[in-house]
Copies of this chain bind each other. A is one copy, B any other.
Amino acid sequence: MTTTEPGDAKRPARRSSNPTVHDVALEAGVSPMTVSRVLSGGKNVRLEVQERVARAVETLGYHRNENARSLRPGHRSGLVGVTITNIANPYYAEMLRGVEEIASAHGRRILVGNSNEDADLEKQLVADFIGRRVEGLIVVPSSAGDAAHLQPARLGGVPVVLASRAVGGVSADTVLIDDVEGARAATAALLAEGHRRVAYLGQRSVFTGRRRLEGFTLAHEALDLKPDEELIRVGQQDVGSAERAMTELLELADPPTAVFSANNRNTVGAIRAIVARRRAAAGTGADGGIDDIRVAGFDSFDFADIAPVRLSVVDHDAGDLGRRAAAMLFDRLEDGEQPVEPRILELPVTLRDLF
């Protein structure tokens, strides 16, 4: 008996990298085949041998290499790729959790990429994910730039579900929220209260922005009204620019008496502007009706219910959006023969008065 360690005939000293089936086999005194069998449930292996292998796995800290495993024909990667325009957005974070929940329940893991609203980056992420053999993709598509990379034909058979936004020209499974109806209902509520100068704070270039502006317009048209173009402000990306836009509106000769904001950044910005104006007016005695100004906004947020204005929000469930998108994907993955036509799902929204 020498001081050499077991297995050093074939392998150079102690390998610092991960142990393999071969190492486990050596340790347990069986063939790699038997180790593999034990790892896959132990069918047709003597109990005593199973235990020996289990002990070797434990001793060596062995973890089966999933990448090698998924290489074999018939095996899948167990991976789903998720691309989001901004993971830090609390709404998408909630959505991501919904996706993760369903993916986990189906035994899959998620690869996550932040596309930063950049179509080129999104394209790279998708290509990389396909290279890693994801079984499917869930994409919150960037609104800027070309979207040819999302064309099902370019994806080499990997199913994709678009979440939150559709993409012109790309026909793929899509989960949306009912932007048009939410915006319509919120605006209609303001009009029903008698407001006739209702401002719009939001987007026009983004998919959801267009749809929400459409709802805003529809509510007016239903009453044979036409929104004043002067009161429509688009392009605010963050709370700061939304606050400036709202301040400008409040300084108009004929200011709005109510505002519909198309997302929560715009809502928060609008409220900040109103509060600032109110504070400025507090000394002078002239408040110009600022105390009565009415706000309705798409999306909810922390604290919405104690906001210092009369506020309604169009609420919708981001987690549900994620769960539905993931469910749609697994539906495709598990149906052998899939219906060819892409499905579009519109999730309902709720208008809530928070006063």
Interface residues, chain A, with chain B CB atoms under 8 Å away:
16-19, 61, 63-68, 70-71, 77, 79, 86-90, 92-94, 96-97, 100-101, 104, 109-114, 127-133, 153-154, 156-157, 264, 268, 271-272, 275, 301-303, 305-308, 319
CB distance from A17 to the nearest CB of B (A): 8
Chain B neighbourhood of A66, CB < 8 A: 128, 131-133
Check if B272 sits within 8 Å of A306, measured CB to CB: yes
Check if B93 sits within 8 Å of A133, measured CB to CB: no
Oligomeric state, in number of copies?
2
CA distance A79 to B110 in the complex (A): 12
Chain B neighbourhood of A131, CB < 8 A: 63-66
Check if B89 sits within 8 Å of A114, measured CB to CB: no
Given A67-B67, A130-B63, A156-B18, A111 and B111 touching (CB < 8 A)?
A: yes
Chain B neighbourhood of A129, CB < 8 A: 109
Check if B127 sits within 8 Å of A63, measured CB to CB: yes
Chain B neighbourhood of A154, CB < 8 A: 61
Given A110-B111, A111-B110, A156-B18, A93 and B100 touching (CB < 8 A)?
A: no
Chain B neighbourhood of A77, CB < 8 A: 67
Chain B neighbourhood of A268, CB < 8 A: 302-303
CA distance A127 to B64 in the complex (A): 9
Pick the most buried of A18, A131, A154, A264: most chain B CB atoms within 10 A of its CB.
A131
CA distance A54 to B37 in the complex (A): 42
Task: Show 27 residue pairs from A and B whose CB-CB distance is below 8 angstroms, ordered by the A residue.
Answer: A16-B157, A18-B133, A18-B156, A18-B157, A63-B130, A63-B156, A65-B71, A66-B132, A67-B77, A86-B97, A87-B97, A87-B100, A88-B94, A88-B96, A88-B97, A92-B93, A93-B96, A96-B112, A100-B113, A104-B114, A109-B129, A110-B113, A111-B112, A264-B302, A302-B302, A306-B308, A308-B308
CB distance from A79 to the nearest CB of B (A): 8
